[in-house]
Chains A and B, each alone.
Chain A
Amino acid sequence: MRQLFTALPRIAALFAGMLAASAVHAQTAATNDIVKRGEYLARAGDCIACHTAPEGRTFAGARAMPTPFGTLYSSNITPDPETGIGKWSADDFYRTMHSGRFPDGGLIYPAMPFASYTKVTRADSDAIFAYLKSIPPVRQKNREHDLRFPYNNRQLILGWRTLYFSEGEFKNDPAKSAEWNRGAYLVEGLGHCGMCHSPINALGGTSQSDAFKGGLIPMQNWYAPSLTSNREAGLGNWSIKDITDLLQTGVSARGVVYGPMAEVVHNSLQYLSDEDARAMAVYLKGIAEGSASSAPVSTLPNTESSLLISLGKTVYDKNCASCHGAQGEGKPPHWPPLANNQSIEMQSAVNPIRMVLNGGYPPGTKGNPRPYGMPPFAGVLSDNEVAAVVSYIRTAWGNRGTPVSARDANELRSAPLD
């Protein structure tokens, strides 16, 4: 009995030790979970696209981002205490994401999509921060931005913020399903889709009423189509499966991604869970406007158009029909159909012209690791032939686009490719 009494504290201590160990274990597991969740969310936010330079260390920044106002360089977001965010707290990180200000109150240029990230919840921001704290620190000083006068004056950002920034986390719409709301949260928040898919005005901002109405991406000369008009990239007539295929694999029965959207699928969307991809699809399908907006207007005289289109058919049959089919039916998903393909018919002909000139591969993804590619025809076709074939595919087979001129084709020959 005495022995038992003396043994008791030891047993108790042992027991307490076991409890503590399991508590530590549970805590590590919880930290691992949050880091994993943060990694997933950082991918949904496509942080890597801007915060990693070509051949650079992951998240060490210094990627040059040309803008109409000069060149910006992204910052180091690894946990290095001197040059990265190693000294930041979760509060600092949330404030940056939510308010577009550095921990010291300094204003951030809106190339960082804080107007979208402001919608991110505190819990998600904390998870992303936990993940960023877990990656290897890289000692690399941030490079100074190289902006022209007067844009090098950060105080100007205050004006931009007044016009275009409304701070606030995403609010669920109780009239919509949980799935729709999840999709809206991802598209409007972390996905920052509006950064490209909204018209950019001369001040580099987007007004609320123009959200997702499409626009030419400055400097890149690709047209980011409207996500609300079914005449552009509006997905009202797409099946949910076609949308999730496009987002997760880069190819679908209705079309494939190319240009800047290939980067988004490659770095970000292919990693989405099936549930999140579906939620985005439900939301995107939901915001498409049912009725077609006004029919596109041709700027070319009729006689010129018909000459172009008849030459276009000859060019098409010789160079394009073997993959895209005599009737533009393609062999989806790998060789996309051109008939009833919104990205060919829309008012802006920038994308179809660039595809003919530059060709392109959809991104290699888990779901489509060995994509088929479109040959570049810049060296094979004259400006007139490019204009002709684009005019033909925009008007043949019931497509409702308008003809384009040789000048349109010529102007895009010098569009930047990187």
Chain B
Amino acid sequence: MSVRLTYACLISAVALPTFAVSSQTLTQPPDTMAARVEACTPCHGNKGEGTSDVYFPRLAGKPSGYLYNQLLAFRSGRRKYPPMNYLLEFLPDPYLKDMADYFASQHPPLPTPAASDASADVLKRGAALVTHGDGAAQIPACASCHGPALLGMEPGIPGLLGLRPNYVSAQLGGWRYGTRTAKAPDCMQQVAAKLTEADVTAVAAYLATRPAPANAAPLPKGSYVLPFACGSEPE
């Protein structure tokens, strides 16, 4: 075998793997969370702002701890929605935390509230439940946990603005019927159990009329004291 041929073999032996490696590096997807959560975007929007489907919630800007709890609950099947259960089934905790952090850190503007087709009486009942609760029926005000401006609090209490009435009704219904549950004490289940069908409609309708503040970030941890214990919000 000629020296030249040996030399050529050597060169190609060295050059080929190098080429393979560099061409692979060139064609990798972006090493970002945005690229990794593309599977979420057809339903939740590119930045978690929500889509035209009224049952798919906005994720952007919700406290990371809340989003993480939901991801864990969907993965284990505790919170049931088969398309979500299926997507998350084999993803590890730290990755779900990264996903939660990613959507918590997105701040696309809140949508302008749509005109409500609910009657003035219904909206009045909704306003009362949201801001004052109903002492006689032992229903606490939404604002007592979700914050005076309904923006939620770090790490586990979600804000209630920017959600469509259909989604809010469906979730409150889920708690009332026990299909949506959380860690004990499951405060939302306790509260929702006291609501009537009409209360649910009223709360959902009123929340959707609330204007979007300029800064919709949740309040820092410990900004106010919860009126009762809640398994989702660590002490």
Contacts and interface: CB of A to CB of B under 8 A. Distances in A.
Contacts of A331: 27-29
Interface string A336-366: 0000000000000000000000111111100
A335 B28 CA distance: 8
Nearest to B84: A417
B53 A361 contact: no
Contacts of A369: 92, 94-95
Interface stretch (B6-14, B37-45, B158-166, B187-195): B37-45
A143 interface: no
A376 B94 CA distance: 23
Interface residues of A, number: 34
Given A331-B27, A369-B92, A418-B82, A380 B42 contact: yes
A335 B43 CA distance: 20
Interface residues of B, number: 30
A321 interface: no
Contacts of B94: 369
Nearest to B99: A370
A350 to B, nearest CB: 15
B77 to A, nearest CB: 5
Interface in B54-73: none
Contact of A323 (B24, B29, B86): B29
Interface string A380-405: 10000000000000000000000000
A113 to B, nearest CB: 21
A9 interface: no
B75 to A, nearest CB: 9
A334 interface: yes
Contacts of A363: 90-91
Nearest to A250: B90
B78 A55 contact: yes
Given A263-B90, A360-B86, A418-B77, A379 B38 contact: no
B36 A364 contact: no
Contacts of B53: 379
A90 interface: no
A364 B90 contact: yes
Contacts of B41: 375
A329 B37 CA distance: 21
Which 5 A-B pairs rank lowest in CB-CB distance, beginning with the nearest?
Answer: A373-B39, A363-B90, A417-B82, A417-B86, A266-B90
Interface of B: 24, 27-29, 35-43, 53, 76-78, 82-83, 85-92, 94-95, 98
Interface of A: 54-55, 262-263, 265-266, 323, 329, 331-332, 334-335, 358-364, 369-380, 416-418
Given A369-B94, A418-B82, 16 more contacts: A54-B77, A262-B90, A263-B89, A263-B90, A265-B90, A331-B28, A359-B39, A360-B86, A360-B87, A371-B95, A375-B40, A376-B43, A377-B42, A379-B53, A417-B82, A417-B85
